[in-house]
Amino acid sequence: MAIEDRNVPIGTRLVANYKKQTFVCAVEAEGEGLAFVLEDGTRHKSPSAAGSKVMGGGAVNGWRFWSIEGAAPAKPEKAPKAEKPAKEPKVRTPGGSRGPRLKKASSPKQAKSTATLYRMKDQENVPAGQALWFCRGCMDGFLVEGDVDPDACPQGHTNDDPELNAPAGLTAAQEAEVTA
């Protein structure tokens, strides 16, 4: 764990793990300042200089390299796991697992339709009792009172507007052919 308080008292022992080896550095008084003394007896003016010696001369931030002996190492926070979608059960023949598997019937692919108005997922910083919505027609957000789905945006765009709800890449006439 990195050293956050740089006013390290005399007598403190610093430890570091480098290349599967543990190194110790003692903080001692030296004149008006401090000395960072490694186990081999070498004295250094800073934890960075002592860490550099341990690493064979490479530059190092000593306040991050060393930890105070006995301090618990910081555990990295784990991101919450996303839920996995449910798996579709496998279809098998009545003969058991050794029989040939039945193929899932394929259906013709339909173009996806996108709603003109939709409720934004992020509702942070939205006043209480209101919801933030977005209109793909005017490309603007707007607030709605309560938990009611709006019929239209302030500019008048609606979810049943065929020009705005045509699947990507299709005109309203082409969509009418697909759905007919």
Per-position DSSP letters for 128-180, written without gaps between them: TTEEEEEETTTTEEEEEETTPPPSB-TT--BTT-HHHHSPTT--HHHHHHHH-
Comparing 71-75, 168-172, 176-180, which segment has the lowest mean pLDDT? 176-180
The overall average pLDDT reported for the chain is 77
Could you tell me if 2 and 8 are in contact, meaning their C-beta atoms sit under 8 angstroms apart? no
- In this prediction, residue 97 has a pLDDT band, given cuts at 50, 70 and 90, of low
What pLDDT sits at residue 98? 57
pLDDT of residue 4: 82
pLDDT in tens, 100-154: 555 565 555 555 556 778 888 888 888 888 988 888 888 888 889 988 888 888 8
Query: What pTM was estimated for this model as a whole?
Result: 0.40
Q: Per-residue confidence at 81, pLDDT binned at 50, 70, 90?
A: low
